[in-house]
Amino acid sequence: MDILACDTDDRLTELLKINDELNHIKDIDSLLDAILYETRRLTNADAGSIFLIENRMLNFSYVQNDTLKKRDPLNNKQIYSNFAIPINETSIAGYVALKGKTLKIDDVEYIDDNVPYSFNRSFDKISGYNTKSMMTIPLVTTRGHVIGVMQIINAKDDKGNPIAFQSSDERYLSFFAGSATSAIEKAKMTREMILRMIKMAELRDPKETGSHVNRVASYSIELFQKWAEKRNFTHKEIKNYRDILRIAAMLHDVGKVAISDIILKKPARLNEDEFKIMKTHAYQGAKLFKGNVSDLDALSYDIAYTHHERWDGKGYPRRLKGEDIPIAGRIVALADVYDALISARVYKPAWEESDVITVLEKESGNHFDPELVEIFLSIYDVIKAIRMKFPDLDFKIFTS
């Protein structure tokens, strides 16, 4: 962990290596995870977060915190926090986004009276964390456009006590932030392309925001994480799989491109013939990924093809049963039905939460893999946090 001991050449070589790795990550959340992790490793920082600019606000997009993780190792709730802060001089992050310059604060207790920004204690108050030193770095593209900020918190000495960041950290990080920014831009483009594909396929409605697919993807990776941990998958295996699972899960219904609007948007129950046509979306989607040139294709194929199979073998299109259904298909089946029931659709209102839970319990071992239902209920506070993060209506919750 202690990179300060390395000489300059080693440090540069390492930066180049990380840069190369970042360029291979296509999913934006996995990318933010890797960027924060590497930044914190380079500076020996206890915590950090990334804010990305969306709708002229700094959206809290990713967080890591070793101390809080140690206190509550199984809780992933934090990363689904949802808040945004305005881009102005009153906050530290806002100031850095506005000026496009790195800000190093040795102790947030003692910020000069004559600067416009002040430290916002609300996060520390809620979490019980104690922020001391902070370095806030703008994420600037090569064209000079600020897309967000990265904030790292509490550099640690040998004994783990918080100390100020070093001036040398600042130089390395400005280089690193540049390559991180271009990787984020690329991942954003991939994500936008996928969202456009999904819009074309499922939503076809300018009011829709892609919330359903974001929620299904997030539930799915949380389910997978717990399932894989029980099987002692390595950290690296889990990370690699999460990366492609998010994208593949988002594409589960992409085969609906082939279904006419008359059926897809029918504001009533489908008749038998209509439902027969609707059911072809599973295979239609799978066909798009046939050939399996990449792991992502193979997984997208499996999920599109099998997300309507049932554990008891009564699903469609192939009536696969139990563990013959790939795990990703079993996971997305549960995530998809949960989200379909808890949300309103053109053909049905949202269900009461207690009724949805009752269905999951009743369908454990019938529609759904019982182990997955058990995991789902055990992480239900995370599931709810995901719903808060991706609400159906196009609004955000402001706290700061």
Site for Fe ion, rule CB under 5 A: 253, 336
26 binds ligand SIN (CB under 6 A): yes
Burial 78-101 (b: 16+ CB within 10 A, else e): bbbbbbbbbbeeebbbbbbbbeee
Those residues whose C-beta lies under 8 Å from the C-beta of residue 121, and which sit 6 or more positions away, are none
Those residues whose C-beta lies under 8 Å from the C-beta of residue 214, and which sit 6 or more positions away, are 250, 390
Stretch that binds ligand C2E, among 104-112, 141-149, 168-176, 343-351 (CB under 6 A): 343-351
261: which DSSP letter?
A: H
311: which DSSP letter?
A: T
Question: Does 69 qualify as catalytic in the annotation?
Answer: no
CA atoms within 13 A on the CB side of 87: 19
Rg (C-alpha) for the chain, rounded Å, is 23
363 binds ligand SIN (CB under 6 A): yes
Candidates 68, 359, 361, 365: give the one binding ligand SIN (CB under 6 A).
Answer: 359
CA–CA dist 393, 212 (Å, integer): 11
298 binds ligand SIN (CB under 6 A): no
Helix pair angle (235-250, 327-342), 10° resolution: 50
Spot the catalytic one: 186, 256, 321, 362: 256
Cβ proximity to ligand SIN: between 355 and 394 the closer is 355
120 binds ligand SIN (CB under 6 A): yes
Least distance from C-beta 391 to ligand C2E, angstroms? 17
Per CB under 6 A, contacts with ligand SIN among 191-230 are 193-194
Q: Is 369 helix (H, G, I), strand (E, B) or coil?
A: coil
Stretch that binds ligand SIN, among 117-125, 140-148, 198-206, 226-234 (CB under 6 A): 117-125
40 binds ligand SIN (CB under 6 A): no
Q: How many CB atoms lie within 10 A of CB 74?
A: 11
78 binds ligand SIN (CB under 6 A): no
Candidates 30, 61, 81, 91: give the one binding ligand SIN (CB under 6 A).
Answer: 91
Residues recognised as catalytic: 256
Report the interface residues with ligand SIN, using CB under 6 A. Answer: 26, 85, 91-93, 119-120, 123, 151, 190, 193-194, 247, 294, 296, 337, 359, 363, 367
